[in-house]
Amino acid sequence: MKYINEINRRKTFAIISHPDAGKTTLTEKFLLFGGAIQVAGAVKSNKIKKGATSDFMEIERQRGISVATSVMTFEYKDTLINLLDTPGHKDFAEDTYRTLTAVDSVILVIDSVNGVEEQTKRLMEVCRMRDTPVIVFINKMDRDGKFPFDLLDEIEKELNISLHPLTWPINSGKEFKGVYNLYDKSLNLFTAGQKSTEENSVPIHDLAESLLDKTVGERNANQLREDVELIEGVYGELDPEDYLQGIVAPVFFGSAVNNFGVKEMLDTFIRIAPTPEPRHTSIETDIKPTDDKFSGFIFKIHANLDPRHRDRIAFLRVCSGKFERNKSYHHVRLDKDVRFNAPYSFMARQKEVIDDAFPGDVVGLFDTGNFKIGDTLTEGENFFFTGMPSFSPEIFKEVVNKDPMKTKQLEKGLRQLTDEGVAQLFTQHGGNRKIIGCVGDLQFEVIQYRLLQEYGASVNFVPLAFYKACWITGDKKKVEDFVRFKQANVMEDKDGNLVYLAQSEWFLNTERQNNPDIQFHFTSEF
């Protein structure tokens, strides 16, 4: 309990959304409020001029997307915030999945024009797996979008979560007048082309006041009164415990590009969002943030963060105790001690050497090839943090080496890239055939580019018609027989686990029926 003050002032969360919902803009506004950047546009201009943290390859700059998670630390109202900005592009969902294991809560950005989109559903499924607390920010209210009540119904139905509005919009699009804060009973007025300021806030403790009619007009005032009456009747008071258990998601409306409605959400976030949470392990006991001894896990590995140096940075989430510079820690998987003389904290691409870190913090560790995703560091105990599964990829392609003289370089490149979690590597059981599995096609372009640029290995990818990768377990003799009969379809993942590649849903269902003693798992954690 000796670090309780440090633990209680930390909030670690991720911003997730469908591409183009306004996630990067919202991130920028948070950093502005925290004083981490000085001018609006700094995040986006970095992408254009210098390249943002994650945009370290030419292929990413050309396409204008981020393919890796950025880590940003800043302070706001005596709260230390660790913000993990995730890739929005669906082809890089695997990186986002892993990032969600390293945070204690999530802000989900939804475009008021497009509503719930496919990627949003998939991200929310991962949040549901861990009951991660979620706050919803409905963005782009200054554009003509869906009716707010319709949006709430759609979100509840599509994402399977109960909502609780804490602000409410007055109209949308060209008629957008502002939002009413249901918590502190104040009206925040919107003026197109102007940023939100304290002067725009009008305290209205009773909606019956005539001041409301004078401020927004009689028609809008009456509509707001009706809406708020309905909201209060349906939703009542927000129970913070329901939010912390992932049952209810508070909802805020605004326009991130105009910095409108963002401060209300940020102020509520630091008030109700969870401090660092306990973590599940391979032993029966959960690790609590207040435990005296240090522990943490690697949730991301990033190569060439600094283009001038061929470096690999492993991102460590501190789970308990105190991480200290130059102190030796136990690498559980390798069963050896490691120490770090230059651990980093991050503000986008900028790195700053730190002397210590506490539960909830994300630390960058220089990696010479010792780390894999999911590795655990402790002060001597032997356990692993769980809850970081690999999911079945959706696209499979066979690796064809174009230059046999570079076979060793190719092997090394594939091993390191898959250790980073860029993709999943499957090797034929008892053979040498290699298959890469990814969530989206764009990943293959990134792998091909990086293999050539970083390892000098030139490859082609041949598409394969597989439906799912299933990890198989069960009766040893039955599994051996299955592997022998289905040799062409049985692979090993990079950790040596057996994986069955099913050609179609029909084939998979048939194998399940024919082999009742074998379990087919869609994730690597079973």
Closest CA to 504 of 452, 465, 474, 470: 465
Element (H, E) at 309: none
- The answer to whether the CB of 500 falls within 8 A of the CB of 489 is yes
Residue 26 in tokens: 């919202």
Residue 192's contacts (CB-CB under 8 Å, 6 or more residues apart) are 142, 174, 176, 258
Q: How far apart are alpha carbons 415 and 300 in whole angstroms?
A: 15
- The answer to whether the CB of 74 falls within 8 A of the CB of 36 is yes
Q: Known binder of ligand: residue 208? A: no
Q: Known binder of ligand: residue 347? A: no
CA distances in angstroms from 304 to 95, 420, 421, 427, 451, listed in the order given = 17, 12, 15, 26, 13
Q: What is the DSSP string of 110-138?
A: EETTTBS-HHHHHHHHHHHHTT--EEEEE
Residue 364's contacts (CB-CB under 8 Å, 6 or more residues apart) are 71, 305, 313, 314, 315, 316, 343, 344, 345, 346, 351
Q: Known binder of ligand: residue 88? A: yes
Give the single-character DSSP code of 362: E
Q: Known binder of ligand: residue 412? A: no
CA distances in angstroms from 17 to 20, 283, 389, 446, 503, listed in the order given = 8, 34, 21, 22, 31
472 has which bridge partners? 520
Q: Known binder of ligand: residue 393? A: no
Report helix, strand and coil shares of the chain as percent, to nearest 5. 30, 30, 40
Q: How far apart are alpha carbons 448 and 413 in whole angstroms?
A: 10
340 has which bridge partners? none
Q: Known binder of ligand: residue 140? A: yes
Q: Known binder of ligand: residue 139? A: yes
Give the single-character DSSP code of 87: P
Q: How far apart are alpha carbons 4 and 379 in whole angstroms?
A: 19
Q: Known binder of ligand: residue 335? A: no
Question: Would strands 70-76 and 79-85 be described as parallel, antiparallel, or unpaired?
Answer: antiparallel
Residue 95 in tokens: 């990186």
Q: What is the DSSP string of 45-82?
A: HIIIII--TT--SHHHHHHT---S-EEEEEEETTEEEE
Closest CA to 13 of 166, 139, 132: 132
Q: Known binder of ligand: residue 87? A: yes
CA distances in angstroms from 233 to 76, 228, 394, listed in the order given = 34, 8, 44
Residues forming the annotated binding site for GTP? 17-24, 85-89, 139-142
Residues forming the annotated binding site? 17-24, 85-89, 139-142
